[in-house]
Amino acid sequence: MRDAHPVERSVGIRQYVSDADGTSGRLRATPEDFRVRELEQFETAPVDANSDAYPHLVVRVTLRSWDTNDFAGSVSDRLGISRERVSWAGTKDKHAVTTQLFTFDGINPEEVPDISDATIEVVGRAGRPILFGDLAGNAFEIVIRDADRPEQAAPIAEQLRDFAGGNDDAIAVPNYFGQQRFGSHRPVTHEVGLAIVRGDWEQAVLTYVGNPSEREPERTRQERAFVDRTHDWAEALERFPRHLGYERAMLHRLVEGDETEADFQAALETVPTNLQQLFVNAAQSYLFNRIVSARLERGLPFDRPVAGDVVCFADSDAPADLVVPDQSRTQRVDKDRIASVTRHCERGRAFVTAPLVGTETELADGKPGEIEREVLDAVGVEPDDFSLPGEFDSSGTRRAVAIRTDLGLETDPLTLSFSLPRGSYATVVLREFLKADPADL
């Protein structure tokens, strides 16, 4: 197997499935080169339904070069409502053309504003806001410009079909967490999370505030290095660039404290709750990537179970044209069940899983369980360590080790079309084709 890019290896992604050379090329040369359409899984009532029972207006929005959060802020300003009354199911890429659902609380259709580079279509009403995860997945159409070796796309696709089991035309790739989970230019969120899980709050802060990366601007590297050398929080606060707002918030809290573990924990708690959760989620994602990479290295199958595996089953509520794993429905596979569960896997009804480790994680048995325990031992954590204060606590779950999708492939220009279930990353498909620096994905 071909080794992954060094930056990917730092987040637990150790290899490519395909041995063929990559196509190279540029993504997002224009926003239209990266199209994302949400595969909807949210029930709506007719637009003329009673607004008392259905207070949330549901709209389908197509955005060009809009950050999802920025659009929510802009539309809430135009509507004269708080930002909290605008909701959506998934954050999309800014450098793209994206189509997704939003809900506006307490708004009537005639109040919907015109916003530049946004097309807003009213589709109905709902009794509750759309929430994060209220989607089945996403469909992608991605153009790769200036590819040096576009002819390599076909043999790469063939190798990915073999990885899928070769029973149909679908391709498969390991269901890695993509680089954006950890930071494309400075992948440290998992390192912060691992320090938190180990109870080393000071190291967690230093990893986030200090710890310079050669991929950052020179001034930023200098100021992070100053923190590492001096631990002079007051001087660092004076020196740190204004755009590093989360780092500055941590430094400000440390200036007020006495450098106890409680102070370092409080410094981490100055960042938004979703970022606090992301630190621990990134640690779980790193462990998952390591476990999946080890499974690949040892030659265990991804399209069917071996004795000891834990599988999950398909989400029966997903759209007919998309298979979505339901991580809440799992079953341990012993040697007597391998044949029957393999048939379910072949039909897209079951999926081999690996753990997102948390306090309630039950590890697999057999060879898969050996891999899971070896990775946890190597990193120096165990499930009980995820019993943490406040937003850092996590009970864990399991996640499919592979994703399958039908692939549309055109060569002039090189274009990939595919759909993925919620929670899976388009970059884990694209990386197999381009074999590029993850910052370029």
Domain ranges of the chain: 6-31+138-175+404-440, 42-133, 189-271, 275-400
Q: Over 90: is that where the pLDDT of 209 sits?
A: yes
Q: What is the pTM of this model?
A: 0.94
- pLDDT tens digits, 68-85: 999 999 999 999 999 999
User: How high is the pLDDT of residue 59?
Assistant: 98
Q: How many residues does the chain have?
A: 441
Buried b (16+ CB within 10 A) or exposed e, 75-107: bbeebebeeebbbbbbebbbebbbbbbbbbbeb
Mean pLDDT of the chain: 95
pLDDT band at 220 (very low <50, low <70, confident <90, very high): very high
β partners of residue 102: 59, 88
Q: Which residues contact 342 (CB under 8 A, 6 or more apart)?
A: 304, 305
Higher pLDDT, 169 or 201: 201
Q: Is the peptide bond before 413 cis (omega within 30 degrees of 0)?
A: yes
Please determine, for residue 168, whether its predicted confidence score (pLDDT) is greater than 90.
no
- pLDDT over threshold 80, residue 195: yes
Per-residue pLDDT at 222: 96
Q: Where are the alpha helices (DSSP H) in 171-325?
A: 189-197, 201-209, 218-230, 233-239, 245-256, 261-268, 273-297
273-297 vs 189-197: helix crossing angle, rounded to 10: 100
C-alpha to C-alpha distance for 378 and 385, rounded to whole angstroms = 15
Place of tokens 């994206």: 98
Query: Which comes out higher in pLDDT, residue 247 or 316?
Result: 247
Residue 323 confidence class, pLDDT cut points 50, 70, 90:
confident
CATH number given to 189-271: 1.10.1510.30
Distance CA 45, CA 329 (A): 29
Q: Is 93 a catalytic residue?
A: yes
| Angle between helix 245-256 and helix 261-268 axes, rounded to 10 deg | 150
Q: Is the predicted pLDDT of residue 203 greater than 80, yes or no?
A: yes
Q: What is the pLDDT of residue 35?
A: 98
Quote the tokens at residue 301: 């199958």
pLDDT in tens, 275-313: 999 999 999 999 999 999 999 999 999 999 999 999 999
Asked if pLDDT for residue 184 goes beyond 80, the answer is no
User: By percentage, how much of the chain surpasses pLDDT 70?
Assistant: 100
Phi, psi of 403 (to 5 degrees): -125, 135
Q: What is the pLDDT averaged over residues 132-137?
A: 94
pLDDT at 169: 85
Lowest-pLDDT range of 49-58, 159-168, 367-376, 389-398: 159-168
Out of 33, 93, 263, 303, the active site residue is 93
HSE, side-chain direction, 13 A CA sphere, residue 407? 27
Residue 436, pLDDT score: 94
| pLDDT confidence band for 10 (50 / 70 / 90) | very high
SS3 82: coil
* DSSP 8-state assignment for residue 335: T
d(CA 17, CA 90): 28
- In percent, the amount of the chain with pLDDT more than 90 equals 92
Is residue 101 a contact partner of residue 89, using CB atoms and an 8 Å limit? yes
Give the model's pLDDT for residue 319: 84
Please tell me the class of the 275-400 domain.
alpha beta
Q: Region 218-247: what's the mean pLDDT? A: 96
> Among the listed ranges 251-265, 312-326, 344-358, which one has the minimum average pLDDT value?
312-326
Closest alpha carbon to 175 in 419, 7, 423: 423
Please name which of 75, 287, 274, 440 lies closest in space to residue 295, comparing C-alpha atoms: 287
Q: Residue 198 pLDDT more than 80?
A: yes
pLDDT band at 338 (very low <50, low <70, confident <90, very high): very high
- CATH architecture classification, 42-133: 2-Layer Sandwich (3.30)
DSSP state of 115: B
pLDDT at 441 over 90: no
CB 297 within 8 A of CB 1: yes
Residue 136 tokens, joined:
């089945």
Contact in structure between 129 and 87 (CB atoms under 8 Å): yes
Q: Sign of dihedral through CA atoms 66, 67, 70, 75?
A: positive
- Decide: residue 328, CB within 10 A, 0-12 exposed, 13-18 middle, 19+ buried: exposed
From CA 290, how far away is CA 144, in angstroms rounded? 29
* Element containing residue 356 per DSSP (H, E): strand 350-356
